[in-house]
């Protein structure tokens, strides 16, 4: 992880290389970095090309949707949860890895404007998690390096 100063130094170097005619392959999940540095973007998801765009010509929401996909993953998660849940949480009486992955996924989907109403089982499980102190302490807003959007 680079400090903000180190990142800016890197960006200066990358811009200079591009101006000199060098091709630069830049890999990032941070929208602001992609927008600042890339003339074209190819988004990979699950090892496949999910789409391509010119970052200057698409909105943050369009770029984010390319990166995170549409709601088909949430629909699959809802189906799996309804079929295989074995207790108050996915695998029983305590939260586990499924919940640790689900809560931030739903937070990001919400942040990107996804309609979560079609996924009541996921929302109910998220509510159970967010009622737990451990999830409250782990929320991004409570971290020392948190920067609001």
DSSP secondary structure letter of residue 46? T
68-94 pLDDT tens trace: 776 678 888 999 999 999 999 999 999
Residue 38 in contact with residue 55, Cβ under 8 Å?
yes
Give dist(CA 37, CA 12) in Å, integer.
10
Q: What is the pTM of this model?
A: 0.61
- Of 60, 56, 58, nearest to 29 by C-alpha is 60
What is the reported pLDDT for 71? Answer: 66
What is the reported pLDDT for 32? Answer: 84
Query: What is the token pair recorded at 23?
Result: 């091709």
Along the chain (149 residues), what's the average pLDDT of each consecutive run of 10 residues? 88 93 89 88 86 89 76 86 96 96 90 87 98 96 85
Taking the domains of the chain in order of start, what are their residue ranges? Answer: 4-68, 72-142
* Architecture field, domain 72-142: Up-down Bundle (1.20)
């Amino acid at each position: 992880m680079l400090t903000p100063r180190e990142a800016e130094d890197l960006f200066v170097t990358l811009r200079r290389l591009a101006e000199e005619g060098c091709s630069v392959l830049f890999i990032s999940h941070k929208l602001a970095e992609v927008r600042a540095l890339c003339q074209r973007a190819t988004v990979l998801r699950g090892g496949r090309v999910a789409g391509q765009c010119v970052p200057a010509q698409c909105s943050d929401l369009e770029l984010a949707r390319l990166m995170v996909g549409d709601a088909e993953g949430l629909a699959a998660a809802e189906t799996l949860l309804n079929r295989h849940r074995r207790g108050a949480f996915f695998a029983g009486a305590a939260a586990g890895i499924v919940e640790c992955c689900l809560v931030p996924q739903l937070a990001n989907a919400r942040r990107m404007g996804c309609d979560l109403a079609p996924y009541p089982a996921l929302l109910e499980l998220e509510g159970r998690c967010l009622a737990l102190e451990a999830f409250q302490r782990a929320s991004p807003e409570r971290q020392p390096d948190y920067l609001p959007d």
